[in-house]
Structure 1
């Protein structure tokens, strides 16, 4: 893990994440930040458990994580990267997701899987970030 450019101790656990994101259970889709290069990149983790509320109805007997929630995890990891890259500008701000290009789901996500969200910050101007 790269901690050289980060002033925060890695990994960042759920308590630290909840200090930065407005989402709460059951809608928090990031469990831990594993790697961080402030202003550059982030790797975050979501442990997908059988206890996730969405598995009750999606689909009974054949649990599959909804794709929109995978994208929500990606957006939350992006919010963490933006916040950790410019906390003095973004403290207390809400992050809004603007869109995705060329998204493809390569396989089904089921209970017991781990999702690793890896994002690179391409551009940040004021309160707008492109990843």
Structure 2
């Protein structure tokens, strides 16, 4: 059965899928969904102004929303793991993105392993995603590879004005407020304050639970990715050509715990390798002493804006 997506009863950056279909097939459930890329959606105008391009993290948000719709979940599902993700082509304004998703229900609770192939209407592949989505366990926790960053003290090392000069994103998609520490070629620590006035909370009805006000993990990961871009720029100096820094791949990303309005996320990103227009990074997302996510590997690439804007 195919159905238009109902109003979302939890915080989300945008309606990340327009229609969802769930079928029972010989090898198990299969989801099919679609999303039209349009500049009129919330957050989209701030993502590369002048170039309408769907952020890759909104594909992850789409899978979360498709699961919520298909299985009629009362409690909001979350991204639990991004086991692997490969981003193969940009998704530009007017593109109709389709999701073809093999679904494997997990034995322990309301969770589903998803193997998704995303493509444009003409069949051009844009992404291959292997993720775990489900209703999180309140006791979930992560053992991070390093300790929580020290609280920020004093003026930022890179302030918001300079961040705006460095990153080609704008409100509400600019998701780094300050850089507290940066060691070029090695690491960066940044901060993003979450407030109740974020666009993801605008259309929510009254009387929701704290879980439904959880800051979307897709946006938390986007904030981490922007922090990674700032580290790349600080590390490369004049070696970065004038282009678009784009997410190319993720491996081994694990989430635990939520962020509420009033919390401040802090990202610790480490540069593992930088070569030939490609950066390999890792790190964690924190709220105080709570580790919210561990990212084993994030790969970013530099692409000329002219090539991105005409890619079809």
Length-normalised TM-score, structure 1: 0.86
Give the distance between the partners of 1:69 and 1:13, measured in 2 at CA: 21
1:34 aligns with 2:184: no
**Greater share of strand:** 2
- Pick the aligned partner of 1:69 from 206, 209, 219: 219
1:101 alignment counterpart: 251
* Contact 1:83 1:91 (8 Å CA) reproduced: no
1:120 alignment counterpart: 270
* Contact 2:227 2:267 (8 Å CA) reproduced: yes
Q: RCO (CA 8 Å, sep 6+): is it higher in 1 or 2?
A: 1
Cα distance, 1:82 vs. partner?
A: 0.2
Following TM superposition, where does structure 1 have runs of at least 4 consecutive aligned residues deviating by more than 6 angstroms? Answer: none
Relative to structure 1, is the Cα distance of residues 91 and 34 closer, same or farther in structure 2, using a 3 angstrom cutoff? farther
2:199 alignment counterpart: 53
Deviations 1:37-66 (A, max 9, x none): 001000010011111111224676342211
Length-normalised TM-score, structure 2: 0.38
1:18 alignment counterpart: 164
Relative to structure 1, is the Cα distance of residues 58 and 87 closer, same or farther in structure 2, using a 3 angstrom cutoff? farther
1:82 aligns with 2:228: no
**Greater share of helix:** 1
Q: How many residues were matched structurally?
A: 123
